[in-house]
């Protein structure tokens, strides 16, 4: 079968936050469509004619996208969905259907949670709910043979038959991740990708685990059982990327050091193979120690991204973050001592949040030697404990209605706090200003820039940020 997986340009206008818009506008970050590379790899492994059209990276216009699709004549087109970006994906799906009139399949986190609602969209023919690495292979086989009986037995697939929804439920989780083919990054325009922190090209992102062992109330990662690929398998994927010219990698695992032994083995593998890679990880402050951090640093890991969320112990407790201010201090200082860049992520507008607690968070960001920080307004995402609290309080399913096309002009309300949206958004802005516009931080940021053009971009982003209403 001829399959095209489309990653359309995304603007992120609704439910966005100031930081992301500013970064996208001036640093022009181009992300890797990681989900689609997994689906493409599974299809390629069994011989389908599959390609990825990353129209975001290629900066294709609507006309170019449609003309590309028409000229390639695919049998089916696939797109990924995400709750916060579904309002845009919906438009792309509608456009592709109108222009090509061929079957459209969707997967991704939004499809996990609102599959039936998605199928009610006339332009969507097949929905994949849950991990699709195996489901997609079974589907394509049955679809190619026109075997409807088999289609009705594929777990994780939903589709319509004579207007009636056939719901085969959620897919089974894949236990042995090493069995899966490596993501099909060879189908991507690798020279295009970067974030505002990358220093080398080619650059990719990787994910080596699924699920999470923590229980944060605002996150859905722990709904999946925690599974990880073996160190050997991860290093082999890095080697493969290296052979394709990749020199920088961001590891997007929920918490890379949950299994410290594996993390150390990966670092040793990178050194053993002499892979000259610059890379970073995301993790939690209670999951690092000197041994693991030293091993990572010695293998080219340059930055640790910590999800800290709040500088107020009560807020941390409310969100079941399960970390203390002491652990935060210890991890930040240790990471800096070992030569890492440290990126701290904070959320404002959490349950129980007050002006005082937000001030404590902003103060914490300035207390320690962070290189970068991010402040985000809390958003209650589907299936999280926080969202359940939202439904209990507000008595309606916001995201379900959003999927039907409502609420497109406003963010989901905050939950569990008396603060207004305006107060939280102002605190987000204040956090950025107070952190980045300190003289020592300005000097640090500018001295880390690689070129005059980049320095100019930072200045422009700063000015935009300061004067944006
Ligand atoms: C990498 C990443 C990104 C990358 C790449 C996105 C991508 N879609 O490839 C970038 C930086 C672009 C990104 C952007 C955003 N992301 Co993001 N991202 C992730 C991250 C860290 C990893 C995703 C991943 O590759 N997982 C591994 C793959 C194998 O799993 P998967 O994505 O679920 O895909 C599997 C199935 O879902 C399915 N599938 C997925 N797509 C498709 C498509 C087809 C056709 C089929 C058949 C199957 C299928 O098959 C895959 C294999 O099993 C996740 C967190 C996480 N750990 O999952 C957040 C996550 C998916 N992102 C999230 C969000 C909110 C966003 C943004 C909306 C943020 C924003 N405000 O702009 C945007 C949306 C942009 C977009 N169009 O996707 C949320 C989604 C929550 C939700 N309910 O939707 C997550 C879960 C993080 C979180 N907990 O908040 N993201
Ligand atoms: S926020 Fe991070 S640590 Fe908490 S459950 Fe989600 S992925 Fe795990």
Q: pLDDT tens per residue, the chain (469 residues)?
A: 999 999 999 875 444 554 445 545 555 689 999 999 999 999 999 999 999 999 999 999 999 999 999 999 999 999 999 999 999 999 999 999 999 999 999 999 999 999 999 999 999 999 999 999 999 999 999 999 999 999 999 999 999 999 999 999 999 999 999 999 999 999 999 999 999 899 999 999 999 999 999 999 999 999 999 999 999 999 999 999 999 999 999 999 999 999 999 999 999 999 999 999 999 999 999 999 999 999 999 999 999 999 999 999 999 999 999 999 999 999 999 999 999 999 999 999 999 999 999 999 999 999 999 999 999 999 999 999 999 999 999 999 999 999 999 998 888 999 999 999 999 999 999 999 999 999 988 888 788 777 777 777 777 777 777 666 5
CB 206 within 8 A of CB 260: no
216, 304, 305: residue to mutate for ligand 2 pocket, most atoms within 8 A of CB: 216
**Residue 73: what are its φ and ψ, rounded to 5°?**
50, 60
Q: Whose CA is nearest to atom 3 of ligand 2?
A: 214
Nearest-CA residue for ligand 2 atom 2 is 254
Centre of ligand 1 from the C-alpha of residue 8, in Å: 14
Distance, in Å, from the CA atom of 417 to the CA atom of 207, rounded to the nearest integer, reads 34
| pLDDT at residue 455, rounded to an integer | 77
Q: b vs e for 105-141, b when ≥16 Cβ sit within 10 Å of the residue's Cβ? A: bbbbbbbbbbbebbbebebbbbbbbbbbbbbbbbbbb
Range(s) of the chain covered by CATH 3.20.20.70: 197-378+414-436
Q: Which pLDDT does position 446 carry in this prediction? A: 81
CATH class of the domain at 2-167? alpha beta
Q: Would you say 10 and 57 are in contact if contact means Cβ atoms under 8 Å apart?
A: no
Atom of ligand 1 lying closest to residue 113 CA: 83
Q: Which two tokens stand for residue 87?
A: 């309002």
Instruction: Tell me whether strands 157-161 and 164-167 are parallel, antiparallel or unpaired.
Output: antiparallel
Q: What is the bridge-based pairing of β-strands 76-80 and 49-54?
A: unpaired
Helix (H) or strand (E) holding 377: strand 372-377
Residue-level pLDDT at 19: 47
Q: Which two tokens stand for residue 173?
A: 């989780």
- Closest by CA position to 110, among listed 125, 133, 90: 90
Asked whether 275 lines ligand 1 (CB < 6 A), one says no
Superfamily of 197-378+414-436 according to CATH: Aldolase class I (3.20.20.70)
Ligand 2 mutation target, pool 211, 213, 221, 288, most atoms within 8 A of CB: 221
Of 262, 273, 208, nearest to 239 (Cα)?
A: 273
Tell me the two tokens of residue 189: 């325009």
Closest-CA residue, ligand 1 atom 62, reads 82
Q: What is the pLDDT of residue 434?
A: 97
Whole-number Å distance between alpha carbons of 190 and 463: 31
For 347, phi then psi, to 5°, come to -120, 135
The protein residue whose alpha carbon is closest to atom 26 in ligand 1 is: 35
What is the per-residue pLDDT for 18?
46
Taking CA atoms only, the protein residue closest to ligand 1 atom 69 is: 84
Residues of the chain with CATH 3.40.50.280: 2-167
Mode of pairing for the β-strands spanning 248-251 and 227-228: unpaired
Q: Pick the atom of ligand 2 nearest to 220's CA.
A: 6
Q: pTM to 2 decimals?
A: 0.96
Which helix (H) or strand (E) segment holds residue 110: the answer is helix 109-113
């Amino acid at each position: 079968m001829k399959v095209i997986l489309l990653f359309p340009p995304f603007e992120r206008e609704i439910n966005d936050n100031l930081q992301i818009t500013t970064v996208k506008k001036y640093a022009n970050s181009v992300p890797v469509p990681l989900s689609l590379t997994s689906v493409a790899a599974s299809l390629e492994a069994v011989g389908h004619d599959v390609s990825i059209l990353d129209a975001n990276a290629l900066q294709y216009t609507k006309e170019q996208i449609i003309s590309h699709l028409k000229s390639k004549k695919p049998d089916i087109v696939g797109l990924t969905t995400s709750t916060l970006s579904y309002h845009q994906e919906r438009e792309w799906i509608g456009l592709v259907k109108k222009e090509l009139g061929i079957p459209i399949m969707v997967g991704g986190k939004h499809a996990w949670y609102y599959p039936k609602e998605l199928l009610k969209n006339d332009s969507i023919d097949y929905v994949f709910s849950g991990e699709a690495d195996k489901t997609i292979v079974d589907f394509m086989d049955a679809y190619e043979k026109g075997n409807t009986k088999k289609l009705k037995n594929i777990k994780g697939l939903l589709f319509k038959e004579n207007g009636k929804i056939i719901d085969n439920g959620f897919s089974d989780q894949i236990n042995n991740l090493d069995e899966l083919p490596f993501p099909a990054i060879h189908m991507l325009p690798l020279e295009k990708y970067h974030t505002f922190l990358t220093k080398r090209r080619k650059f990719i992102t990787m994910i080596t685990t699924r699920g999470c062992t923590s229980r944060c109330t605002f996150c859905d990662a722990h709904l999946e059982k925690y599974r990880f690929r073996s160190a050997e398998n991860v290093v082999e994927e890095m080697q493969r990327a290296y052979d394709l010219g990749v020199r920088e990698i961001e590891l997007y695992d929920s918490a890379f050091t949950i299994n410290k032994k594996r993390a150390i083995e990966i670092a040793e593998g990178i050194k053993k193979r002499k892979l000259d890679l610059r890379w970073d990880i995301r993790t939690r402050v209670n999951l690092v120690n000197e041994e693991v951090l030293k091993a990572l640093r010695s293998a080219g890991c340059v930055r640790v991204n910590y999800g800290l969320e709040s500088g107020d112990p009560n807020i941390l407790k409310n969100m079941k973050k399960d970390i203390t201010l002491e652990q935060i201090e210890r991890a930040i200082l240790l990471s800096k001592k070992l030569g890492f860049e440290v990126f701290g992520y904070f959320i404002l507008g959490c349950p129980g949040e007050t002006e005082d607690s937000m001030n404590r968070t902003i103060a914490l960001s300035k207390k320690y030697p962070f290189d970068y920080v991010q402040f985000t307004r809390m958003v209650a995402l589907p299936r999280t404990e926080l969202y359940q609290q939202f439904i209990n309080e507000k008595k309606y399913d916001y995201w379900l209605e959003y999927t039907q096309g409502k609420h497109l002009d406003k963010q989901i309300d905050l939950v569990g706090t008396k603060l207004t949206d305006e107060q939280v958004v102002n605190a987000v802005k204040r956090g950025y200003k107070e952190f980045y516009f300190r003289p020592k931080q300005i000097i640090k940021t500018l001295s880390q820039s690689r070129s005059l053009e980049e320095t100019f971009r930072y200045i422009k982003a700063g000015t935009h940020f300061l004067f944006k209403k």
